[in-house]
Structures are given as C-alpha cells and as structure tokens.
Chain A
Amino acid sequence: MSTVSRRPSDAFFVVSVVTLLSTASAAAQETSPPTQSPPPAADAGTPGAAEAPPAELSPEELEEIQKALGADTKSAQQNAPTGTSTAPQSSPQGNTLSVPGVTSSGTNFLDLSFILDVAGAAFSSKEPLQTGGHDPTKNGFNLQQLELSIGSVVDPYFRFDSNLVFSQFGVEIEEAYGTTLALPANLQVRAGQFLTKFGRLNPTHPHAWDFVDQPFAIGRVFGSEGNRGLGTEVSWLTPLPWYVELIGSATDATGEGTARSFLGASDERVLSPLDLQLTGVVKQFFPLSDNVSLMWGLSAATGPNASGYRNRTDVYGTDVYLRYRPITEASTTLITFQAEGFYRRRQVPGDVLTDFNAYAQAAWRFSQRWATAARYELGTPAKGEGGATVTDPLDPEWTKDRQRVSANVTFWPTEFSRLRLQGAMDRAGWRDSPDYSVFLALELVTGAHGAHAF
C-alpha cells in the first residue's frame, strides 16, 4: 500500500513546531519594562530572573561585583554546606514564615492531603463497558481511589507536586514532578511523571470532575488512567494581550493504561526521539465579561504505535469550556459547558485507521450546595482508508457507534465533602440493548486546602 506513509506524519511536524517554538522563545523579550529600582539588598536574587542592571551603576562597578562574586563562589566551594537549603530571606518583615500566627502552615514544609472516593454501583450489564481506571466497575461497593497529594516548594527554583494513588491492590505513582519557579522569558518546565496537558479533562483528577466516571473517549484513546508518562514539558506564556499559552511535551509512549494508542503494553525500547510521545497544546482564554469566561484549547499528540516498524499514531483534539458565574452581584449560580473531541489516526500494517470520540457536558450549580449535570458521549468505530468500518485492533468489539448519556445530582455538605448520584444509559451499537447504570459516590477531602485550577 503506497498510500500508507512511513514518514512521520503531519501531526509530528505540528507538535515539533510547537515544541520548538516554545523552546526557541527563551530568547523572547521581557514583557515587563525594566524596573528602574535597584533590587533591595536583602533580596536573595534569582539568577534565572533577567533583571536589567540599575541605571545608577557604571559598567566598571558591575564588573567589580561580578569579580567579587566569582571569588566568593570559589572560596565557598571549599566549605560547601551540606544538608537542607534555607529559603531566601526577603526582607525584615517580608518573611511570612517568621511571623507567628500569620500563616497556618508555619514551618510545615509539606502540604499533604488525602482524597477518598468510594461509590456504590449497580449495572444492568454483566460486563459494564467502563473505561476509566477510577470508575466504579462492579455491582456493590467500589473503592475508586485513595489519593495522597503531596506538594511543596523545594527551593526558590523548583516546586514539587505528586499524586500517589492507593487502591486495594497496591500503590501507584500517578504523578510526581517538579515545576520551575524562576525561569526567565515566561517559560515554565515540568519534569518527572505527569499527566499531559492534552485537552481539558486529561490533566485533572477525579476530585475536579463533574461526573463520577471518566468519559469513555479518554479511556479508549489514551487508556484507563488518562495520558501520562515520564518526561518533560515546556510551556510558554506568550506576551500577547490575551492569554495564550503554548505547551510542548515529550513523554514515554508506553503503558496500557496511559498510552494505549501509542506503544501501549509493548516493551519497545527508545532508540530515537521519534519513539517518544510528543504533545503540543495551545490554550487560549477569553474573559468575555466579568461573569462569562471562555477557554479554548487545541491539542495534538503523536507517537509510535506497536503495530509495526515506524507505524505512528496521531491524536488531534479540541476542547471548549464556557463558564458563567455572576460575580457582579450576590449569586451562588454557576453554569459550565464543556466539550472535547478527539480525532485519532493510526497507521497499521496495510491501512490507516481513523475514529472520532467526543463528549459534551453541561453543569448547573443552582445553590451553594447543590448542582446537577448532564453529559452526552459519542465514539465511532474505526474506519479504514476506504471509509469502511474495520476491526479495531485495540477494541475489536467496537464495530458500531457507541453513545452514552449520563445525568447526576451533586450535594456538597461543605467544599471538603461531596455526595453524587448519577445514572447513565449506555448504547453500545454492537450490543443488543442499552445498558443502564446507577452510582452513588462519596468523596472526602482532608488535609491541606488545595488551590483550585480554573
């Protein structure tokens, strides 16, 4: 089949360009004007922050300072301290840690929190088609997850975040990564194991979801755990007047639960950068008014797949998030609309398979403690180059459209606990009749108060 290209596909180029762009932009100009003030003497100073030299100093003086610093560094190397580094002393009264009663954290270096998700479930089908790793999957009681989040600032240059998930069968490092705090030129790098920023839902945890379970699109395209891997990510906040963020990451392309459309469970070795999953994302935010916000994302991921030599998989996605929350008047109303689509293209021996998966959901918080939400999902069968439906090597039974409709009601006693009752009708075209399911889920959050992402 001459039409099956053996070259890296378009997505690869798109992603490379985004990645390169965001790295090359290190040379981008500073958006903020150089301050006219000399940094305060007590300032520990961040070598990463490109500060314009204050105008009062002559070049000779600057040179003298650099010489002196160099000499100090040399002599310091001979008696380098071992042990923990100390945080920079910012100013006589600026160090909040030294003021008793001002911060609740005191000198507690780790923010710890536990999140427990349990659910009672009833399915009409003997073999429910749940694709999420944290979904309730069997009749009766399910431990969806016990998540331990540990986060902390490491030093002036890094922050550490991790999510360890305990299940009844063991512990899993879901995420553990460092984030830079002081890179110049609006750059930020993450390194370690992390969920990729593909789309809106993938980088988030069940605690932030509006539904008990994960949309099947993510489970089908990326795997039950969502797309994540060991790797590194560069993101750049552009100097445009509205919020535009460019993100590029390279991650390990293996894992049945995390990269199933790529190398999945196979044991391929990495021989070149092309054996990694490359992801590129553009996120844009538009504050339409005080009360209405719109977030729009475009994502693309490319990586090798295990179906044959140099066969690749590309996934293209777009996500839209519209949020209405009146803040100009007293109101507890919150209405959100969220939709994501995933178009997947896989090279397999002798063919190219394409399919489309999507979900759209709306949630309405109608009082301080109550909300209701509805979601529609669609997944098409894989089609070959000729447009005919073919057997999907990953989901052989998926021969017709699958549609699922879910609706739920949520009650929050406080922001630290949540009860959710959810019902769903699942119409898998290859099954004779629709499947029904009901969940009653409880979530408890204890420990440090995490900050909410938008």
Chain B
Amino acid sequence: MRHFRLLAALCAALSFFAAAPARADLNVVTTVPDLAALTKAVGGEHVQVQSLALSSQDPHFVDAKPNLALALNRADLLIAVGLDLEIGWLPTLQQGARNPKILVNNPGFLNASQFARILEIPQGKVDRSLGDVHPGGNPHYLYDPREALAVARGITDRLAQLDPKNAAAYKANLAKFTDELEKARAGWEQRLAGMKGAPVIAYHKTTAYLADWLGFDSIAFLEPKPGIPPNPSHVASVLAQARQQKARMVLIESYYPDTTAKLVASKIPAPLVIIHGGTDFRAGETYIQHIDELVGRLEKALAGKGN
C-alpha cells in the first residue's frame, strides 16, 4: 500500500514537471555571468537566463556538474565566450545534455567571440610551452564595454531569429541598453583618463581588453606563463620591473589566490586592485553596474588607495 502511494506520488510529480509551463519565451543558458547579464539586458521579460559559471569562479576551470547538463537539456539557446575558454568543460555538458538544439553549429548555439575584435592572436608556432595559450586569441573581451556592446547586438540578432514574434521588443531593449552603456562609457572614460599610459602589473593575461580600452600598459604578469603559478625568481623580477617603471597598481581577479599579489603591491609600493571576474548575475547585478564597480576600484587605485 505504501509502495503504491509512493508510486502515485512519483507519477504525479513526473507529470507535473513534464507539463510545467515555461514562464518565458526563450530559455537561454550562458557559460559566464557577463553573457547572462547582456542577454537579460536585451531579452528582458521574454527570456529566462541562467549562467553555468558563477562570477566568483575561474571560467577556465568549471566542474562539468550533471545539474549543469540538466540546465542545458532545457535550453533553447546556449551562448559561449568561445576561443577555447570553456574547452575543458563545456563539450562534456553539451553532449550530456541530450539537446540537439544547443550543439555547435546549430542555431541554438552562439559563439559570442565572433562579434568581438579579438586581441593577442598568437603568431607563429603555438604549443603548450607557452603555457595555457588560447590559439584563437585572448578570450577575456567582456571587460571592454565596446566589445560587450557588439556582443549584445549579436545576441539580439540571434534572439530575434529564434523568437521572431518578440524581435521588436529585443531591438527596443538593445537600443535602450546601447544608450545607457554609451552614456556610462563616456563617464567612465572621463573618470579613468589618468589610466592612459599608466604601467600596471596583473596576475593573469586577462587585461588585454581593459588595457586596450583604457590605454594603460600591462608591463608584467605575476604568472610566468598563463596557467603556471608564480615562482620566487619570476616574482622577484616582476617586482624589480614594477619598481623601475613605477607601476601604478597591481590588478588581480577575485578568483586567483592573492597573497603574492598583496606582497608585491606592498613592496612596490602600489595599490592592489581586486577586480570581480564577472557580473554577479545571480545577485541581480547588471553588466553596467559590474563595469561601474570595476571603474570605481580603478579610480580609487589611481588615487593611491587599494581595496
């Protein structure tokens, strides 16, 4: 009898979940929270968005947890950063998701890097003696609001293609987002005019796009090569370089260990800036708020205050 009740409950639960109506027209899953924030900005209430990685996570190393495959199973669109950023984990999830829509080269898969101007494409022979290189170029383009805008346009086109009846709404949202972002960008550039030509130390090669946008000069990285942790002799040489060139600040993402960076910053001396690797989408942060927060931290550092 008890078994029968259990079975009945299970069947009821099953039919409920199978028949649960979607709240939005499109179910979008992105690999990183920045892309989720951009998608939400242009999709508005017509899209339900989820990011696989958290902003506190290094997007190179995400565990391919089965519950993430479950999210992909129910997705209409998967948006990835591309350039091999997710190569260590996304393919596993795509295959486990059993959802042909989101496989590479189907309309439900969008590689956002095609919309960005890619920097640091390695020239000559590429092999792993260079460290963890990205043969297609540097994938951290979402730090540059100009690239983010291009990506938002690309996302809008794809949303409109998959969901034509809301195309007008997506385009209107994009226009509004473009306005806000461009206004904000003018303000940011004004506040950070002092970054032009400033020598900066960073932990990992994530600063290419920030530097391209703000005009500062990444003179050295604490990692001897991408993905290789700092070692004493290399850190010593970085410190010497930083002192010699009067580095203005040390930049590090919040997901990297910061003890070495703190030490180097105190020895230069220069302020340490811990930047969030992405938008805290889960807590409701928008892309513009994320960059604004980042700009605030850089501004403080220019004034000689670390955080």
Contacts and interface: CB of A to CB of B under 8 A. Distances in A.
Interface centre among B66, B82, B104, B258, by most chain A C-beta atoms within 10 angstroms, is B66
B89 A242 contact: no
A181 interface: yes
B117 to A, nearest CB: 11
A96 B106 contact: no
Given A287-B67, A330-B254, A454-B64, A240 B106 contact: no
A369 B158 CA distance: 41
Interface in B55-95: 56-57, 63-67, 69-70, 73-74, 76, 82-84, 87-92, 95
Given A37-B165, A237-B73, A243-B70, A49 B107 contact: no
Given A101-B137, A102-B82, A43 B105 contact: no
B229 interface: yes
A243 B100 contact: no
A139 interface: no
Contacts of A46: 100, 106
Given A96-B111, A186-B98, A454 B92 contact: yes
Contacts of A245: 66
A242 B17 CA distance: 11
A48 B258 CA distance: 50
A105 B45 CA distance: 36
Interface stretch (B21-29, B170-178, B187-195, B296-304): B21-29
B179 to A, nearest CB: 24
A46 B19 CA distance: 24
B163 interface: yes
Interface stretch (B35-43, B127-135, B241-249): B127-135
Contact of A101 (B67, B136, B154, B164): B136
B91 to A, nearest CB: 4
A335 to B, nearest CB: 13
Contacts of B14: 239-240
Interface stretch (A85-93, A273-281, A402-410, A429-437): A85-93
Contacts of A181: 95, 100, 103
Contacts of A453: 64, 92
Given A88-B106, A188-B98, A454 B76 contact: no
Contact of A96 (B22, B104, B131, B135): B104
B237 interface: no
A92 B95 CA distance: 24
Contacts of A44: 106
B227 interface: yes
A330 B258 contact: yes
A368 interface: yes
Interface in B238-265: 254-258
A331 B164 CA distance: 43
Contacts of A30: 18
Contacts of B64: 451-454
Contacts of A330: 56, 254-258
A387 interface: no
Contacts of B90: 451
B88 A91 contact: no
Contacts of A186: 73, 98
Contacts of B56: 327-330
Interface in A415-454: 415-416, 446, 449, 451-454
Given A31-B74, A102-B82, A285-B65, A368 B114 contact: no
A368 B161 contact: no
Given A104-B134, A449-B88, A94 B69 contact: no
A290 B96 CA distance: 20
B74 A182 contact: no
Given A94-B110, A242-B67, 9 more contacts: A36-B163, A40-B107, A49-B100, A88-B106, A94-B107, A156-B106, A327-B56, A332-B257, A414-B228
Interface of B: 13-14, 17-19, 21-22, 25-27, 54, 56-57, 63-67, 69-70, 73-74, 76, 82-84, 87-92, 95-96, 98, 100-101, 103-107, 109-111, 113-114, 118, 121, 128, 131-132, 134-137, 154, 157-158, 161-165, 227-229, 254-258
13 contacts: A32-B22, A32-B76, A91-B107, A94-B107, A102-B113, A102-B114, A182-B100, A293-B63, A330-B257, A414-B131, A446-B128, A454-B64, A454-B92
